[in-house]
Structure formats: C-alpha cells, structure tokens
Structure 1
Amino acid sequence: MKINGSQIVIECLVEQGVDTVFGYPGGNILNIYDALYKNSDRITHILTAHEQAAAHAADGYARTTGKVGVCMATSGPGATNLVTGIATAYMDSSPVVAITCNVATFLLGKDTFQEIDITGVTLPITKHNFIVKDVKDLARTIREAFLIAKSGRPGPVLVDIPKDVTAAVCDFEPLPNGDDGSAALVAENSNFNRVMTVAVPTDDEIRRAADIINKAERPIIYAGGGVKLSCAEKELLAFAEKAQIPVSESLMGRDVFPASHPLCTWMVGMHGTRASNMGITESDLVLALGSRFSDRVIGDPDKFASGATVFHIDIDPAEVNKNIKTDGCLVGDIKAILQRLLPLVEKRERKDWLSKIDAWKKEVPKSYSVVKADSVNPKFMLETVHKIAGDDAFVTTEVGQHQMWTAQFYPFMKERTFVTSGGLGTMGFGTGAAMGIQVGNPGRRVVHIAGDGSFRMNCNELCTIARYNLPIVIVLVNNGTLGNVRVWQKLFYESRFSHTTLDFGPDWKKLADAYGVGYVHAGNNDEFEAAFGEAFRAGRPFIVDTRVDIDEMILPMAIPGKPIDQQMME
C-alpha cells in the first residue's frame, strides 16, 4: 500500500508495540503530529511542558516497563532540548528512541530557520543515530532504531526525518502480525555492526570463574545496574544465598537485591555504607556484576580492593579494564552467566566473614537518629515514605543530597522500583521520569523525592502532571540550598557559600495552587508522617513540602580521591 512518511512512522511504532509517546509539537514535525491525531486510538501522546521532560519521561517509561521509550520533538531548539535527556539515557543504558523532524532536505546545510545538525550533536551520546533523506528508507530505519536501542547493552537511538520526507509517499510493506522485524534485519545484515552481538562464554571459562569463586574466603558481590538490565535479580539472589556472599550495590543497582536480606550491605562508594566499603576493602574477591567501577564508587583506584582478586562480569567488553584493572572477566548476559555458574558454585557458610560484615553494619553515623523540633530527619523521611507507600511503589529522585539519602535509607525490596540519574547526574531528570513511569504503570504509585534546587528546573511539569491527573506524590526536600554543593563548599572552600543558598522563593503552596496540585507542609518528623500519609491516600498529584535543615550532611562520606574505607562518619 502507498502511504506517506508520517503514516509510515505510526505504522512502524505500532509494529514495535509502542502505545505511548512523549513529546512537544512544532513546525517541522507537524505532519507526524497530524498522523498522531488521526491515529489517537492506536497511540497515546503525552504533551509535556518542555522537550527535555519528554526525553526523561520516555526514559522512565523504558526503565520500568521493559519496553523502548519514545519521545518526539521538532527541529532546532526542540531537538536540542532533548539532548540532556538523551545523554542521561545513554549514560544509564536506557532504551529510548527519539524522533526529530528537520527542515526539508533541500534546505539542509543552509542555516535555515530552526535547522540544526542534530545527528552531529548527538553522535557521542547515542548508540547510533540516523537522518532519513529518502522515504523509501524510513520504515527500515525506524525498525533498525528499535533493534539497536534494545539489543545488547541498551541505549538511546535518534532518528531525524526532514519535513519533506514525512510528506512523501511510497509503498509500505507491513510486517507480519506480531513481528518487530528484528530477525529479518539481522538476517539481511550478516555484518550488522550497529547491533552489539552478545558474547557467550565457553564452558571452560565458566568453570574457571566458578573455581575462582569457590576458592575465595572473603568474597563480596558488587552489583550494578547491569543486573537490572539483564533482569537477573532472581539469579543474583539464588547465587548469593547458595555461596553466602554479601552483596554491595552501586547507585544504579540499589534495587537489585532485597534491602532487608541479611546478605545485603546496601550502597558502596563515596556515600556507601561502612559494611559495603569495608567489605570491598577487606575482601579477597570482588565479583563485579554489570557495574562500571565509577569514580564515585572506587575513590582512589590504586587502593580500591587492593588485596582482592577483581572479577568482572558484563555484557559490554568496553567496560572491562576501563576504570579498574581486573584479574578475570566473563563477557556476556549476566542472567545467562549466573544461571550457568549457579550449579558449579559450592554451598558455603562463611560465618567469620559474615560476622565481620554484620559488625560493620552497626557502624552508622549518630546523625541517623537525631530528632529536631524544626526539621525532618532524612532517614526518618525515607523510612516513613516506605512504610506508607509500600514495596510496590516506584521511587524517583532528582540529583543531590536527597538522591543520596534515598539510596542510603530507602529499603528497596522489589526490582525496578528505583529510578534515578546515575551516570550523568541530571538535575531535572526525576519529575519527567516520574511522569513516564506513572503513565507506563497506571496501576501502581510513584513517589518522587525532589530537592528544592532540582525541582526549580522542572516544576513547570506540574502542568503535565495535573493535566493527566497523574497521582504522583512529590516529596519536596526543602532545605533552602543546593545541599550537595554547599557541603563541598563547607569542607573544601572554607564555607564560602557562593550562589548555593535558595532563600528567594518560590512560594511552593501558591505554585501548587496555580497548577491545581495538592499541597501540604511538614516542619518536623511528626508532621511529615501525617502529611505524607494524607498526600499518598489522596490518590491525586500532591506536593509534600518537607523542611530539612540547611546544614544536614550526607554521611558517611569518603573524601573524593581517597580510599573508600577512609570515611567521615560525623
């Protein structure tokens, strides 16, 4: 059948199982938006207040549904407004397809109004990107984009379509019902170098890895976001329990192992627990699963696990020996590798090693239990949110102190319930992500933990939350400062608080009222428990304005560049 490029986009999205897209219209993408209007019974469009939020929403949708997230924007500034969201998805390996529409092909390269080389701009922050200059290539390109986004180590792909291509007509051959075209694309391209081929370790390699694990007396697992991407949480639990190996987690891996499990030591690194940091420092084997040894985890690379064998399991060979020299590795899908390792790993008790771990778990800062009459204790705040929201709730954050407190104190019990910007550290990420998660998971609740500094960057999205009546509860951690930066200014810049104090509004209640969003204030622990309970039970968009002391710190804290066992506890 003959259809135009805009309808081809719709047909290809439907083939790929897309039911929702996030975006913002503009002149050069109008043809696609007209097609969305005509096909509103097949694809839902969520209009955000800003294109960046559309990218973050697609990202949050992808991280929690297991599907590829889709966002759309017009040319020029519309496309560039997606860039931060695309980069965030790239750093955290999230499968997103971004569709932009450029000026007509005959106007490219002429500094045309709202023209930009968005494929050039996004080249370093996408798995791959395309500009489609012939409508005959459009269907194949979109199908290829989805295959690339979700294959191997996931990541974002951008497809830029000039306006005249969206209007041009050509023959379109739909795929067989239920087929996304992946098999045909791979079959036609024996050298499909844009798709990461997943390696499969040999039986000998698996046996050697099992032998290394079985010989260790003080092993510890360092679990990263790759465990989540591989859906290997159940395999990790069975593996850790059989071999009795404690499990430390990166920020991106905070929800891959049940927080209440005796083997869980929670987060490792700059703001990691004493048990995780000392466990890695004193171990004789660090088994890294789907983690990239971020600088925020390893501190001084020469002192990180200096007495241990470091064994790395990851789907991406580029991560092996990138930040830390390893003593061995397995490259492949973590879920499949753990399934093969499990029968070969010996059942152990490790009483002495686990006793040490348990002793380190008891070493916590005194500030954890401090109760003040005029502010809310962060630990109490996060534990109260969990008590009321329960294990099924999704938790998103912005970036800053509140993010680290969430990672430190929230007892995540279920997989894929924690969504945050890890690699890029994007202030402004969480509100958009929360919207995408709530749209993609309408039967579950989303709690968004947002610092007042970050929330200033995206509070315009309250109009989106209100318009679609998304029952997101925003816990506004209001300490009147850019808290994380203030701490560094206090420690390393002799308390010169240069432009980090936020004592100039807005009035958050008036803002909530303006958008038709619920509001309640909490000035101490007792008020917070009542306020959050009221907001959560309301079942509609709500802000819980939570007063936290301006000088509250994130503790423990390892000094940047120092060994991670050298932690400030007070």
Structure 2
Amino acid sequence: MEMTGAQVVVECLLEQGVDTVFGYPGGTILNIYDELYKYQDKITHYLTAHEQGAAHAADGYARSTGKVGVCLATSGPGATNLTTGIATAYMDSSPVVFICCNVGQKMLGKDAFQEVDITGISMPITKTNYLVRDVDKLADTVREAFGIARSGRPGPVLIDITKDVTAAKVDYEPIPQEKHSRTGALGKLIRRSSTSSLLRPEPDQKDIDILVDMIKESKKPMLICGGGVTRSRAHEEFREFARKVDAPVAITLMGGGAMDGADPLATGMIGMHGSQASNRGVDGCDLLIAVGCRFSDRVALKPDSFARNGKIVHIDIDRAEINKNVQTDHHIIGDAKIVLERLNEKVPQYDHSEWKEYVFSFPTETKYDLDENGVMTPKEILATIESMVPKDTVVSTDVGEHQMWAIQHFHFSYPGQLLTSGGYGTMGFGLGAALGAKAGNPEKTVIHITGDGSFRMNCNELATEEFYKLPVITFIFNNGVLGMVHQWQDLMYDKRYSQTILDRGPNFVKLAEAYGMKGARVTNIEELQTAITEALEEQKEGRGYLVDCAVATDEMVRPMVNGGTNITEFLLN
C-alpha cells in the first residue's frame, strides 16, 4: 500500500510493538508528529519539558521494562539536546532508538535553519546511526535499528531522516517483527565492537569446561555481578550459580538488583565506594569470576593490582571488553544468561564456609554514628524509605553522594528496579528516567532519589509528571553543596570549596507546589515517616510528591578508596 515516509515510520513502530514514545516536536519532524496525531489510540506520546528529559525518560522506560525505548526530536538544537541522554544510554548499554528529522536533502550542508550533522555528532555514542535520504530504505532502516538496539550488547541507535523523505510516497509492506531478518535488512555493522554479533553469541563449550575446572580447584572464589546480568535478565541463573559455587558476591553499580542486595551471599557494592567485605574479598580471593562487568576505573581503581592474589575470569557478551581494562586469565564470550545456564549444568554444589566467614568478617555496609544534633544519616533515611514503600518499588537516582548512599543502603531485588547513570555519571538523569519507568510500569511505585545539585538540572520535568499523572515520589538529599565534589575538595584540596556551595534557591517544596504537587521539608525520621505516608496517599490519586530531606553538609560517602590505588587502601572507612 502507498504511504508517506512519516506513515511508514509510525507503522514500523507498531511492527516493533511500540506503544509508548517520548519526545519534543519541531519543524522538520512535523510530518511524523502529524501522523502520531492520527495514531493516538495506539501510541501514547509523552511531551517532556526538554529533549534531554525525553531521552532520559526513554532510557528509564527501556531499563525498567526490558523493551526498546523510543525518543523523538527535531533537527538542530532538538537533536543536540538529546546527546547527553544518548551518551548516558550508550555507556550503560540501554536499548533506545532515537528518531530525528533533518532539513531537506537540497539544504543539507548549507547551514540551513536548525541544520546539524547529528549522525556525525552521535557516531561515538551510538551502536550505529543512519541518515535516511531515500524513502525506499526507510522501513528497513527502522527495522534494523530496533534489531541492533536490542540484540548483542544492547545500546542506543539513532535514525536521522530528511524532511522530504517523511513527505515522499512509497509502497509499504508490513512485516511482522518475528519475520524480520536477524542480520538486518541493510547489513549495517555495529560500530561498538568490530566483532559484535546481532545475535546472542553462543559460548564455546571448551571455555565453559575450563572454568568448571578452575572452580573445582578454587578454595576462595569470589563473584562480581555486573550490568550484563541485569541487561540479560539473567538474575535467576546468576543466583543459582552463586549458590552452587557458594561464593560471596560483590555488586557493581549497574549490577544492582541482578543480585538481591539482601541475599546472604551479597557483600555489597565494589570499588571506589565499595564495602570493605567486597573490596577485601576481591583482593583476597584465589578465583574472581566477573559476569557482565567492564572493570571500569571506579571498580578496578588500580588494574595492575586488582584481584592480585587470584586468577581473573571475565564473562561478557562483548569481546571488545576482554582485557581492555584488566588482564584476565580466562574469558568466556557470550550472553550472561546462556553462559550461566551452561555453567549451572556442569557445576556441582560446593561449600566454602571458611572463606565466606573471612569475607563477611568485614562490614558489608557503612555504619554511622548518630548525630548529636539529631540530623538524619543517609542510612536512616534510606532504611525508612525502604521499610515504607512496596518491595517492588522502582528506584531512580541522579548522580552524586545520594547515588552512592542509595546503592549502599537500599537492597535492590530484581533487574530494572534500580535506574542510575553508572558509566556517564549524568546529573539530571533521575527524574526523566523515573517518569519513563512509571509510564512503562504504571502499577508500580516509582521513587526518585536525588541531591539538591542534581535536581536543579532537570526539575522542569515536574511539569511532565503533573500533566500526565505519572506520580513519582522525589526524595532530595539536601546538604546545601555539590556533595561528591565537595567531599573531594574536603579530602584532597585542603578544604578549598571552589564553586560547590549551593547557598541559593529554590525552595523545593514551593517549587513542587508551583507544579501542582505537594511537598514537605523534613529534618527528622518522624517527619520523614509522615511525609512518606502522605506521599503514598497522593500517589494513589495520581499525584506526585516531593520530600526535601535535611542532610548534614559534612556527611561523606564512606568507605572511599582514592583513584589509582588498590581497592583495599581505604581513605575513609
């Protein structure tokens, strides 16, 4: 049947099972928005306050549902406003398809109004991208983009379409998703790794057998649960593997929820702000098995001495990650879920009680002294929140001290429960991501944990929250400073607090009220409990809520290991 390019785009979204998109319109993408107007009964569009908010919302939707997120924007500043969100998704391997429209073909390269080379700009931060100048290739391009975004190591893909292509006519033949070519209709390569596969690569059985023998020889095994376990939804297989090996499990920032934080084998977070149990366990083990972990500089702070007393085994879907940061003794290339299934078939039950007793002799969480002035500690705040919200509550964070506190003290129990910017460290990620999660999981409670610095970044998305009745409960850890940077200045810059004091507005409770929501400023646990009770009641009515929590300015994230040192050289305990 004959359709315009804009119709083809929307029909292809329906082929992919898309029913939710986030975005912001503009001149070059108006043809697509005109078609979306006609498809309102099939696709829900959320208009955000800013394109960056739309990007984070699509990302949060993807992470929390396991589906591919979709984000739309116009050319020029609309497209470039997406780039922080694209990079965030790329660093954390989140599958999002970004669709932009550019000026007409005859105007390309002429510095036309709102023209930008978004494919050139986004090349390093996407798995692949496209500039569509031929309407005959449009449908296959969209299909392939979704295939690449969701398969192998997931990640963002960008499609830029010239405006005249969205208006041009073409014969369109619908193809159900299950009949799409596995290798991609256009044969596009994935830039992220020259050897990446569009499929889930099957592991080599010989590599599996080698690891089985290594486990047999080990007396002090340790596991790392990384983001790859989360992305693959391999949590059940990973937990079975951990129980069979009977090994303590350290959890990366992106692995939160893949291993239940309350599991008896969980030692807490690893790395710069990792627990003593995690860091000392990794340092003392004779065999370290890292699953879906890329050994970033916040985990392997000093690569040469990382797990220095043991052999390192790396399981990852992306061959490009192997030996990139840490030299391994053995590796297995494959999807975490498949690899763990194969291992569980081969690994017998072990008992490493003596080793576990040693590892768990160290703290798995930070202990806080009660403030003599009654100021709430981060652990008190998070323990109170966790005790009062439903167990399956989705938690979105921004970046900073509050982020580390949340990972340390909130016990995440399933993949997609924790939404955080781990690789890129994007302040302002949290609220948009929370809204995307709520759109994708309307039956769940969604909370947003942020700091007074991060919240200023994208607090304009309160307008989106209120208008669409996407009730999110925002908790601000308000210490009056840019906390993490302030902490570094305190410890390493002789207390020269250059531009980190936030002695200025707004009044966050009044800001929430300006957007039609209630809020409360709390200074003790009793006030916090009252606020949470009211917030949960407001949520039932489709209204969000903001809780401004007073935190001591000098409260720090502990433990802390300085960059470039061994993970047991704690600067703070």
In the alignment, the residues of structure 1 paired with residue 413 and residue 537 of structure 2 have an alpha-carbon distance, to the nearest angstrom, of 21
In the alignment, the residues of structure 2 paired with residue 402 and residue 247 of structure 1 have an alpha-carbon distance, to the nearest angstrom, of 23
Which residue number in structure 1 is paired with residue 568 of structure 2?
565
Question: What is the CA-CA distance between 1:188 and the residue it aligns to?
Answer: 7.8
CA contact (8 A) 2:94 2:156 kept: yes
**Alignment partner for residue 315 of structure 2, among 313, 316, 339?**
313
Which piece of structure 1 moves more, 241-250 or 342-351? 342-351
Which residue number in structure 2 is paired with residue 90 of structure 1?
90
For residues 252-275 of structure 1, give each alpha carbon's deviation from its aligned partner in whole angstroms, at most 9, with x where no partner exists: 002111122111101000000110
The answer as to 2:206 corresponding to 1:204 is: yes
In the alignment, the residues of structure 1 paired with residue 307 and residue 245 of structure 2 have an alpha-carbon distance, to the nearest angstrom, of 20
CA contact (8 A) 2:60 2:437 kept: yes
DSSP 3-state at the match of 1:199: coil
Q: Which amino acid aligns with 1:183?
A: S
DSSP 3-state at the match of 2:477: strand
DSSP 3-state at the match of 1:158: strand
Which residue number in structure 1 is paired with residue 274 of structure 2?
272
Which residue number in structure 2 is paired with residue 387 of structure 1?
387
CA contact (8 A) 1:479 1:547 kept: yes
CA contact (8 A) 2:140 2:185 kept: no
For residues 508-544 of structure 1, give each alpha carbon's deviation from its aligned partner in whole angstroms, at most 9, with x where no partner exists: 1221111001111111222222222221232120000
Question: What is the CA-CA distance between 1:184 and the residue it aligns to?
Answer: 6.3
Q: Which amino acid aligns with 1:270?
A: M
**Alignment partner for residue 362 of structure 2, among 360, 363, 381?**
360
Which residue number in structure 2 is paired with residue 261 of structure 1?
263
Residues 109 and 50 of structure 1: is their aligned pair in 2 closer, same or farther, counting only changes over 3 Å? Answer: same
Which residue number in structure 1 is paired with residue 548 of structure 2?
545
Q: Which amino acid aligns with 1:67?
A: K
Which residue number in structure 2 is paired with residue 240 of structure 1?
242
Which residue number in structure 2 is paired with residue 121 of structure 1?
121
In the alignment, the residues of structure 1 paired with residue 185 and residue 209 of structure 2 have an alpha-carbon distance, to the nearest angstrom, of 33
CA contact (8 A) 2:144 2:185 kept: no
In the alignment, the residues of structure 2 paired with residue 191 and residue 419 of structure 1 have an alpha-carbon distance, to the nearest angstrom, of 29
Question: What is the CA-CA distance between 1:186 and the residue it aligns to?
Answer: 4.4
Which residue number in structure 1 is paired with residue 137 of structure 2?
137
For residues 366-386 of structure 1, give each alpha carbon's deviation from its aligned partner in whole angstroms, at most 9, with x where no partner exists: 4x2424545321001111111
Which piece of structure 1 moves more, 46-55 or 374-383? 374-383
The answer as to 2:251 corresponding to 1:249 is: yes
Q: Which amino acid aligns with 1:35?
A: E
In the alignment, the residues of structure 1 paired with residue 141 and residue 179 of structure 2 have an alpha-carbon distance, to the nearest angstrom, of 11
DSSP 3-state at the match of 1:520: strand
1:470-509 equivalence runs, <5 A: 470-509=470-509
Residues 191 and 527 of structure 1: is their aligned pair in 2 closer, same or farther, counting only changes over 3 Å? Answer: closer
Which residue number in structure 1 is paired with residue 527 of structure 2?
527
Question: What is the CA-CA distance between 1:86 and the residue it aligns to?
Answer: 0.4
CA contact (8 A) 2:59 2:69 kept: yes
For residues 340-362 of structure 1, give each alpha carbon's deviation from its aligned partner in whole angstroms, at most 9, with x where no partner exists: 11132131111210110221137
Which residue number in structure 2 is paired with residue 351 of structure 1?
353
DSSP 3-state at the match of 1:361: coil
Q: Which amino acid aligns with 1:206?
A: I
Q: Which amino acid aligns with 2:563?
A: P
Q: Which amino acid aligns with 1:546?
A: C
Residues 130 and 548 of structure 1: is their aligned pair in 2 closer, same or farther, counting only changes over 3 Å? Answer: same
Q: Which amino acid aligns with 1:566?
A: E
Q: Which amino acid aligns with 2:560?
A: M
**TM-score (structure 2 length as normaliser):** 0.96
Residues 121 and 34 of structure 1: is their aligned pair in 2 closer, same or farther, counting only changes over 3 Å? Answer: same
Question: What is the CA-CA distance between 1:231 and the residue it aligns to?
Answer: 1.1
Question: What is the CA-CA distance between 1:299 and the residue it aligns to?
Answer: 1.3
In the alignment, the residues of structure 1 paired with residue 331 and residue 515 of structure 2 have an alpha-carbon distance, to the nearest angstrom, of 52
In the alignment, the residues of structure 1 paired with residue 138 and residue 491 of structure 2 have an alpha-carbon distance, to the nearest angstrom, of 54
CA contact (8 A) 1:377 1:525 kept: no
Question: What is the CA-CA distance between 1:208 and the residue it aligns to?
Answer: 1.0
In the alignment, the residues of structure 1 paired with residue 560 and residue 87 of structure 2 have an alpha-carbon distance, to the nearest angstrom, of 27
DSSP 3-state at the match of 1:529: helix
In the alignment, the residues of structure 2 paired with residue 144 and residue 417 of structure 1 have an alpha-carbon distance, to the nearest angstrom, of 29
Question: What is the CA-CA distance between 1:181 and the residue it aligns to?
Answer: 4.4
Q: Which amino acid aligns with 1:542?
A: Y
Question: What is the CA-CA distance between 1:202 and the residue it aligns to?
Answer: 2.7
- Segments of structure 1 that go 5 or more residues without pairing to the other structure are none
DSSP 3-state at the match of 1:519: strand
**Alignment partner for residue 182 of structure 1, among 175, 180, 183?**
180
1:25-104 equivalence runs, <5 A: 25-104=25-104
DSSP 3-state at the match of 2:181: helix
For residues 11-37 of structure 1, give each alpha carbon's deviation from its aligned partner in whole angstroms, at most 9, with x where no partner exists: 000000000110001111111111011
For residues 168-225 of structure 1, give each alpha carbon's deviation from its aligned partner in whole angstroms, at most 9, with x where no partner exists: 111111114xx35433654885989885344322322211111011111101001100
**Alignment partner for residue 558 of structure 2, among 549, 555, 560?**
555
In the alignment, the residues of structure 1 paired with residue 363 and residue 514 of structure 2 have an alpha-carbon distance, to the nearest angstrom, of 46
Which piece of structure 1 moves more, 288-297 or 254-263? 254-263
Which residue number in structure 2 is paired with residue 339 of structure 1?
341
Which residue number in structure 2 is paired with residue 462 of structure 1?
462
Which residue number in structure 2 is paired with residue 297 of structure 1?
299
Residues 432 and 377 of structure 1: is their aligned pair in 2 closer, same or farther, counting only changes over 3 Å? Answer: same
Residues 187 and 165 of structure 1: is their aligned pair in 2 closer, same or farther, counting only changes over 3 Å? Answer: closer
CA contact (8 A) 1:438 1:444 kept: yes
**TM-score (structure 1 length as normaliser):** 0.97
In the alignment, the residues of structure 1 paired with residue 460 and residue 372 of structure 2 have an alpha-carbon distance, to the nearest angstrom, of 32
Q: Which amino acid aligns with 1:92?
A: D
In the alignment, the residues of structure 2 paired with residue 186 and residue 491 of structure 1 have an alpha-carbon distance, to the nearest angstrom, of 52
* Identity fraction in percent: 51
The two structures, once aligned, show a CA RMSD in angstroms of 1.6
DSSP 3-state at the match of 2:153: coil
In the alignment, the residues of structure 2 paired with residue 369 and residue 497 of structure 1 have an alpha-carbon distance, to the nearest angstrom, of 25
DSSP 3-state at the match of 2:360: helix
For residues 82-104 of structure 1, give each alpha carbon's deviation from its aligned partner in whole angstroms, at most 9, with x where no partner exists: 00000000000000000001000
CA contact (8 A) 1:375 1:525 kept: no
Which piece of structure 1 moves more, 15-24 or 371-380? 371-380
Q: Which amino acid aligns with 2:181?
A: A
DSSP 3-state at the match of 2:280: helix
Residues 410 and 502 of structure 1: is their aligned pair in 2 closer, same or farther, counting only changes over 3 Å? Answer: same
DSSP 3-state at the match of 1:183: coil
Residues 127 and 183 of structure 1: is their aligned pair in 2 closer, same or farther, counting only changes over 3 Å? Answer: same
For residues 45-71 of structure 1, give each alpha carbon's deviation from its aligned partner in whole angstroms, at most 9, with x where no partner exists: 000000001010000000111110000
Query: How many aligned residue pairs are there?
Result: 566
In the alignment, the residues of structure 2 paired with residue 341 and residue 555 of structure 1 have an alpha-carbon distance, to the nearest angstrom, of 35
**Alignment partner for residue 226 of structure 1, among 225, 228, 231?**
228
For residues 403-438 of structure 1, give each alpha carbon's deviation from its aligned partner in whole angstroms, at most 9, with x where no partner exists: 000011111123320010000000011110000000
- Segments of structure 2 that go 5 or more residues without pairing to the other structure are none
Q: Which amino acid aligns with 1:332?
A: G
In the alignment, the residues of structure 2 paired with residue 490 and residue 102 of structure 1 have an alpha-carbon distance, to the nearest angstrom, of 47
